[in-house]
Structure 1
Amino acid sequence: MKSHISTDMGEIIIDNEVIAKYAGSAAVECFGIVGMASVNMKEGLVKLLKKESIRHGVNVYVEDNSIFIDLHIIVVYGVSIAAVAENLIENVKYKVEEFTGMSVMKINVLVEGVRILD
C-alpha cells in the first residue's frame, strides 16, 4: 500500500514499507529496546529481527493522510515498560511526522518479549 501526499508542485507517493522501516529504525534507537520482534502466529514463536529485516516488526496503516503504527518490540530486562513505551511513542511519532509530513494518529506498542543483556 502507498501513501499519497498532494502538494502545489505535484503528488508524493510513499510506500508503507518505507514508513515501517523508518519507524523501526527510530524505535531501536530508544533506550530499553533490544530490537523489533517478528511473531509467528501459527507456532506462537517470537523472534528478534536483524537490522536488515526490521520493518517486519512494524505494521503501518494509512487512512486519510493519517498514519497508524503497530510496533512489536523486545525490551531489556529490568526497565520500566511504561517509561520505555512512552519514550518510544514520543520518539517514533516525532521522527515519522518529520519524515513524512503526515500526522501519526496512533502508535500501539506490543511487547513481545524481554531479554537480559550481557
Structure 2
Amino acid sequence: MPKTVETPLGTISIVEDVIATTAGLAAMDCYGLVGMASRQQVKDSLTELLGRDNPGRGVEVRIVDDEVEVNLYIIVSYGTNIYEVAQNVRDKVRYVLNESVGIDVSRVNIYVQGVRVATEA
C-alpha cells in the first residue's frame, strides 16, 4: 500500500520500494556501517546474478494507517560503538526521508545482524 500525500495540486503516491531505496542510500552514508544484511534472500540473489546493485537491500518498509515504519538490517564495522552507529543511522534515515521524500517516519528500527572488519579499498 503506497504512502499518499495530499497537496493543493493533487495527490502524490510513494511506493514502499522508493522509501526503502532512499533509506538504504541514506544509511550507507553513515560512518561505521559496513553493509546491509539481506532479508529477502531470493530477490537479492537474483539482482546479484543480474549484476544490479540493490540500494534497498536490508530495508523493510511498512505503511499502516498513514504511519511509516522502517526496519533496517545492518552490518557494522568491528571496533566501532554499535549503539552510536545505530543512533547515527536512525537519525540520518529519519532526516533524509523527511527532507527528500517529505514523509514523517513514526519508527526506525535497527537490527544489527553482524560485525565485520572493514577493509580499506
Same fold (TM over 0.5): yes
- Give the AA of the match of 1:2: P
SS in 1 for 2:98: helix
| 8 Å Cα contact 1:62/1:68 also seen in 2 | yes
Query: What CA distance in whole angstroms lies between the structure 2 residues aligned with 1:95 and 1:12?
Result: 18
Q: Percent identity?
A: 39
Aligned match of 1:15: 15
**Structure 1 runs of 4+ with >6 Å offset:** none
Structure 2 runs not aligned, ≥5 long: 42-47
SS in 2 for 1:38: coil
Query: What CA distance in whole angstroms lies between the structure 1 residues aligned with 2:97 and 2:2?
Result: 15
| 8 Å Cα contact 1:75/1:113 also seen in 2 | yes
Report the number of matched residues.
Answer: 111
Aligned match of 1:76: 77
Aligned match of 2:108: 107
Structure 1 runs not aligned, ≥5 long: 42-48
Aligned match of 2:38: 38
SS in 2 for 1:22: helix
CA RMSD of aligned residues (A): 2.0
Aligned match of 2:24: 24
| 8 Å Cα contact 2:39/2:57 also seen in 1 | no
TM-score by structure 2 length?
0.83
TM-score by structure 1 length?
0.85
Aligned match of 1:66: 67
Residues 36 and 99 (structure 1), Cα distance of their counterparts in 2 relative to 1, 3 Å cut: same
Residues 35 and 54 (structure 1), Cα distance of their counterparts in 2 relative to 1, 3 Å cut: same
